[in-house]
Amino acid sequence: MDTTLNDPIVGQVLDGRYRVDARIAVGGMATVYRAVDTRLDRVLALKVMHPALAADVSFVERFIREAKSVARLSHPNVVAVFDQGAEGAYVYLAMEYVAGCTLRDVLRDRGALQPRAALDILEPVLAALGSAHRAGFVHRDMKPENVLIGDDGRVKVADFGLVRTVGDVTNTTGTVLGTVPYLAPEQIEYGESDTRVDVYACGVVLHEMLTGAKPHGGDTPAQVLYRHLNEDVPAPSAAVPGLAVELDELVAAATARDPDVRPHDAVALLALVRETRAALSDAQLDAIPPQAKPEAEEGAAADGRTTVIPRILPAEDVPEEARVQHTSRLEMAPADRTPPDRRSRPRRRVGMPRRGVLATIVAVLLVLGVGTGVWYINSGQFTHVPSLLGQSEQEARKRLSDEGLDVKIGKDFSDSFERGTVMRSDPAPRARIRGNGTVTIVISRGPKIVKVPDLESMPLAEARRTLKKAGLAPGVVNRSFDDNIAQGSVIRSSPASGTEVRPDSGVALVVSKGSPVEVPGVTGESADDAAAALKEEGLKVKIASVRVNSPVDAGSVARQSPAEGSELSRGETVTLTVSKGPRMISVPDVTGQKTDEARKQLEAAGFEVKVERGFPFLNDSVDEQSVKGGDKAAEGSTITIKTKGI
């Protein structure tokens, strides 16, 4: 059944410009349609937010952020965004239309791919993400559904709907946005997103291309999330015997659960992919995977839609019985699941350098004939947990790493410890612990309830810093004219100052545009005079690069944008289009015609008409015209026609 028949938007023309022809795909937040730009007569893709979400300011803001972010990227492997707008309940993006299919379609039809094909797809994906990362953006929702493969073989990355600027506060109190099978552990547990979450997702996608299946399965999203947190992504060769160990190592590097161990961005991963490709023989690259049936896409855990997901509990907060069951399943796994090559190349752990030093000391003592057994048991195997209270998370991580200890992170509220500092550790400070043990540090989220600070009249940058220091997230910024608040400073916040909210809550700001400046009319003035008049009003001036024909003299302003009488903020820009003079056109010969007919013909040709009648006013035929028929005159100029009296 053609579901597009029941779609109310199909057949409509949005914004008087975009004719919606057919529905292409439906996602968790938006629907994509094939449309035609009736002004430019070109086919494009129209991404329309679900009307139920259009009332949510955060979703609309995300939509607009996607348009602005991708508009700043110019890369052949990124789907271009042409326009953004809204009509009624429909908020939309107009995007490049890629005729072809998605990587999800390929995996669904073919299952596992040859390594060469998988790398051929992954490299342009990483090139696109690398361009975004170096421009300061994180995609945050990489998955096969967002990789488009054109009929001409081009690979493009689409859907920057969850894009974030690197360093932005991510307001994920209790929830995380994303697609379950591709979320990095730090997204799930802490809501943290930087370039390394895209690296992790690409590692999962590579595993899926090489094996035809997602690395972590489960009956529910929570089970999949838990496995991402607590299990390494399995080696692809465990599912497809014969795959090169270099491919296993590439997947392992990209999907390391510790983000510090992964390549730091897509550019670094792309370099690693190219090194891996160079190390493989043609036979290894062209290895044909088993013709297994593609993975079924049933159940919520396999759903490829972007969704709002409750953050999974950290491992220390999982009930004991759940941990026992989980451990039992791991212990019962077949012993030969890891291929021999992988067993011979164990992953390096943070504690290994310290153990290496210890082994050296033991060897020296043995050479010297010193009895080492008691020393090693009583001292060498153990250390003491350093005191970390009040230190920043980064400082605490480094201190524990220097001691050869692994780190787990938890977060909790505290009225005593400053937000972002260590409030307790397990084991406690000075406790005895094995030299390769794990210390859980709990980071303070600040007080459980915080008050929105008074931000009125505070410059925007300072207001944002103040909110972050208070443990709140700067939210959407809207701007409004205000005669009393300086331009660029905060008029009010929502929630208002003094309101008690939970930490990490978003606070929207209304920022002053200052007193409005009424744009003067400068059409017809010389470009220099017009620019001077606008600058006197505190406005900036931009001269359009293309001149146009106009009734006004060459060198004068033909039109301005915004128009006369518009209100702008001081410092905003008015664009002036300069005239190159009127267009010269031929004047029709209207002698002998009735004056009404002559007037119509001249006006249709683009002239103004003045009639002078002879006396007495009995003759209504044109006897003379001020410019002879066939001669040329300026478009819009006045042609005088005369009648002769009797």
Which residues are designated catalytic?
Answer: 141
- Least Cα distance to 207 among 154, 303, 142, 274 occurs for 142
- Between the alpha carbon of residue 538 and those of residues 480, 482, 542, the distances in Å are 18, 16, 13
Q: In whole angstroms, what separates CA 520 from the centre of its chain?
A: 39
Distance between CA 308 and CA 178 in Å, rounded? Answer: 7
Is 423:476 a contact under the CB 8 Å cutoff? Answer: no
Is 224:216 a contact under the CB 8 Å cutoff? Answer: yes
Handedness of CA 94, 141, 212, 347 (dihedral sign): positive
Q: Which pair of structure tokens corresponds to residue 101?
A: 């299919």
First and final CA of the chain: distance in angstroms? 80
Strand order in the sheet with 557-561: 540-543, 573-578, 557-561
Q: Where are the alpha helices (DSSP H) in 548-615?
A: 595-604
Q: CB neighbours of 120 closer than 8 A, spacing ≥ 6?
A: none
- Least Cα distance to 137 among 190, 183, 71, 182 occurs for 71
User: In this structure, are strands 584-586 and 137-138 parallel, antiparallel, or unpaired?
Assistant: unpaired
Distance between CA 535 and CA 168 in Å, rounded? Answer: 35
Distance between CA 373 and CA 473 in Å, rounded? Answer: 55
User: In this structure, are strands 175-178 and 307-310 parallel, antiparallel, or unpaired?
Assistant: antiparallel
The burial class, CB within 10 Å (0-12 / 13-18 / 19+), for 216 is buried
Angle made by CA atoms 100, 106, 111, in degrees to the nearest 5: 175
To the nearest 10°, the Cα dihedral for 128, 133, 138, 140?
50
Distance between CA 118 and CA 244 in Å, rounded? Answer: 13
Q: CB neighbours of 379 closer than 8 A, spacing ≥ 6?
A: none
Is 32:310 a contact under the CB 8 Å cutoff? Answer: no
Annotate 349-405 with DSSP letters as a single string.
Answer: -TTHHHHHHHHHHHHHHHHHT---HHHIIIIITEEEPPP-TT-BHHHHHHHHHHTT-
Residue 303, phi then psi, degrees to nearest 5? -65, 130
Is 527:556 a contact under the CB 8 Å cutoff? Answer: yes
Q: Which pair of structure tokens corresponds to residue 72?
A: 């700043």
Distance between CA 395 and CA 398 in Å, rounded? Answer: 5
